[in-house]
Amino acid sequence: MDIAANLATLKVDIPAHVGIIAVSKTHTLHEIMEAYKAGHLVFGENRVQELIEKQPMLPGDIEWHFVGHLQSNKVKFIAPFVAMIHSVDSLKLLREINREALNNDRMIKCLLQFHIATEETKYGLDLAEAAGLLGSPDLRQMKNIKICGVMGMATFTNDMNLVRKEFQLLKSIFNQLKASHFQYDETFSEISMGMTSDYDVGIEEGSTMVRIGTAIFGERFKL
Ligand SMILES: *Cc1c(COP(=O)(O)O)cnc(C)c1O
């Protein structure tokens, strides 16, 4: 795998306004360093244990994004360094992120994860749950988190029409929340959608951040 070449190809393909999160789960420090040396600084992991093993071994200017399901009791392990958590799906989790961010005197950016796929296995909120969360009086007290937008994962399928519909749903959720809760908040601006198999569709439907593993690092051989 020529990781530098893969990144160069993607950077030609992906418009400059769309951020690329290099999802490095299961890949080695050496592979991550290849991307880093090619000038890429933004990486994502989906498991707390793996992330906290890797992070201390890698350069301090890497911007780490957490993209997997996160349990409240594990927030404390990543709060000292994580830049953005893409997978916020409850007020309880948000409270814990705020608490641990405060303990570390930091600000942690968050995205609300929405369930847009037809598969039941995927995590995430629906619009009503998000409205409940955003209407909570607690939220105004949380000074160490910043809700920057939404994230979603499409169904794992070759049916790109279905994927497109799901991304359109996420975009419409973003628009509705923008109008109802974030009209004057410029930082609510991110739509994290698109992976190796569907980032092109994601970008066509308004993605501002794509989370790409395989197209950068190659196939994953372990879970
Ligand atoms: C693994 C993963 C990705 C990247 O997947 P690829 O298909 O390898 O690009 C993106 N988002 C999340 C949440 C992931 O867990």
Give CA–CA dist 180/122, Å, rounded.
26
Q: Which two tokens stand for residue 222?
A: 């372990």
Give the CA-trace dihedral at 9, 194, 1, 38, to 10 degrees. 60
Per residue of the chain (223 residues), give pLDDT as tens: 799 999 999 999 999 999 999 999 999 999 999 999 999 999 999 999 999 999 999 999 999 999 999 999 999 999 999 999 999 999 999 999 999 999 999 999 999 999 999 887 778 999 999 999 999 999 999 999 999 999 999 999 999 999 999 999 999 999 999 999 999 999 999 999 999 999 999 999 999 999 999 999 999 976 5
Position 120 scores a pLDDT of 79
| Ligand 1 atom with the shortest distance to the CA of 197 | 7
Looking at the chain, which runs of residues are DSSP E strands? 19-23, 42-45, 63-66, 84-88, 108-114, 145-152, 190-192, 209-212
Looking at 54-208, which runs of residues are DSSP E strands? 63-66, 84-88, 108-114, 145-152, 190-192
Does the beta carbon of 111 lie inside 6 Å of ligand 1? no
Residue 120: which residues within 8 A CB-CB, separation 6 or more? none
Does the beta carbon of 206 lie inside 6 Å of ligand 1? no
Does the beta carbon of 65 lie inside 6 Å of ligand 1? no
CA of 101 to the centre of ligand 1 (A): 25
DSSP-assigned letter for residue 22 = E
Give the CA-trace dihedral at 64, 69, 118, 146, to 10 degrees. -60
Does the beta carbon of 152 lie inside 6 Å of ligand 1? no
Neighbours of 222 (CB within 10 A): 5
Does the beta carbon of 27 lie inside 6 Å of ligand 1? no
Give CA–CA dist 125/87, Å, rounded.
10
Q: Which of 23, 3, 6 is nearest to 210 (CA)?
A: 23
Does the beta carbon of 67 lie inside 6 Å of ligand 1? yes
Give, to the nearest 10 degrees, the angle between helix 127-134 and helix 160-181. 20
Question: What is the sign of the dihedral through the CA atoms of 46, 105, 145 and 60?
Answer: negative
Position 221 scores a pLDDT of 79
